[in-house]
């Protein structure tokens, strides 16, 4: 039976956190793998606040919890933010309390996940705000950080965007090379309908002639790849609501404003997952307890 997105996300969280801790500890356990933490008396306890130094949309609660679950389940976490919350500089995200060695060993691993996923959600939120008032919705792509596919897809939804296909298995996306290998747009769509009639079929087109071929072959979604604004207007007119239209290629915040006025259904952007700039975070030790 096919796993659900949530099941795949849960599995990825556990595995990606385990791998990240493996990288930091060199495959050793927490007691022997962090030689700097061994300078601290083993019985010492402390409290520390995780804060953001800049505005962001926070994402990463489950990843922080998993880090300390794997390192030391005795570490307590008090949360002040939930995934999807808008935060301002110096806002507290959570307070960690427990063994000093465990908290200091896990801090960077936890923050690495939060800084990346929050960056994704923050960029998505910025783009979504530019589309406000239009019918156009923002989609992600498969241009994600390897090993964090489900994490970044989740972060996109926290920022207000929508997921495109999750992988190669849940929807057809027929691109130029598929068309060339199949012989034609019509042949590729026909084969897709026979192979998995229940799955959506999307075709990427590069000009208005290919758009017409995709419409005549019955595509569900048509991606207009690197179309000029003028040709997008013509495509919307020619389509007349027959299929969903998606625009892709060189999407920037400045470009979004123009695209949002044309009446397309979706804009997809790889930048929201691959061109992210990590959010600046800090862990501030409050006191020993």
Q: Which residues are designated catalytic?
A: 108, 143, 175, 204, 225
The values of phi and psi at residue 223, to 5°, are -95, 120
- Laid out side by side, the sheet with 45-52 consists of 76-79, 92-99, 45-52, 281-288
Query: Please, which residues have CB within 8 angstroms of residue 12's CB and are 6 or more apart in sequence?
Result: 147, 148, 149, 150, 151
Is there a contact between 158 and 56 (Cβ–Cβ < 8 Å)?
Answer: no
Query: Please, which residues have CB within 8 angstroms of residue 285's CB and are 6 or more apart in sequence?
Result: 46, 47, 48
Within the chain, strands assigned E span 45-52, 56-57, 76-79, 86-87, 92-99, 137-139, 172-174, 201-205, 221-225, 244-248, 266-268, 281-288
Rounded Cα–Cα distance for residues 247 and 238 (Å): 15
- What number of other Cβ atoms are within 10 A of residue 83's Cβ? 18
């Amino acid at each position: 039976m096919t796993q659900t997105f949530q099941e795949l996300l849960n599995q990825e969280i556990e595995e990606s956190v385990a791998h990240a801790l493996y990288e930091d500890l060199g495959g050793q356990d927490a007691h022997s793998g962090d030689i700097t933490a061994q300078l601290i008396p083993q019985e010492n306890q402390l409290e520390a606040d995780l804060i953001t130094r800049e505005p962001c949309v926070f994402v990463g609660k489950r990843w922080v919890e998993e880090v300390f679950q794997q390192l030391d389940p005795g570490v307590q976490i008090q949360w002040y933010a939930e995934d999807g919350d808008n935060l301002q500089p110096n806002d507290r995200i959570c307070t960690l309390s427990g063994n000093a060695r465990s908290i200091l060993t896990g801090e960077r691993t936890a923050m690495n996940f939060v800084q990346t996923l929050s960056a994704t959600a923050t960029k998505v939120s910025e783009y979504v705000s530019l589309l406000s008032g239009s019918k156009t919705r923002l989609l992600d792509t498969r241009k994600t950080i390897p090993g964090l596919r489900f994490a970044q897809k989740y972060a996109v939804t926290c920022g207000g965007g929508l997921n495109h296909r999750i992988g190669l298995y849940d929807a057809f996306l027929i691109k130029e090379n598929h068309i060339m290998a199949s012989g034609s747009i019509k042949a590729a769509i026909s084969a897709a309908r026979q192979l998995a009639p229940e799955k959506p079929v999307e075709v990427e087109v590069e000009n208005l002639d290919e758009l017409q071929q995709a419409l005549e072959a019955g595509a569900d979604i048509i991606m207009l790849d690197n179309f000029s604004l003028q040709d997008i207007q013509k495509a919307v007119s020619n389509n007349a609501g027959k299929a969903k239209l998606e625009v892709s290629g060189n999407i920037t915040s400045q470009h979004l404003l123009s695209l949002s006025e044309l009446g397309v259904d979706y804009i997809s952007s790889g930048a929201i997952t691959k061109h992210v700039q990590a959010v600046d975070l800090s862990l501030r030790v409050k006191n020993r307890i």
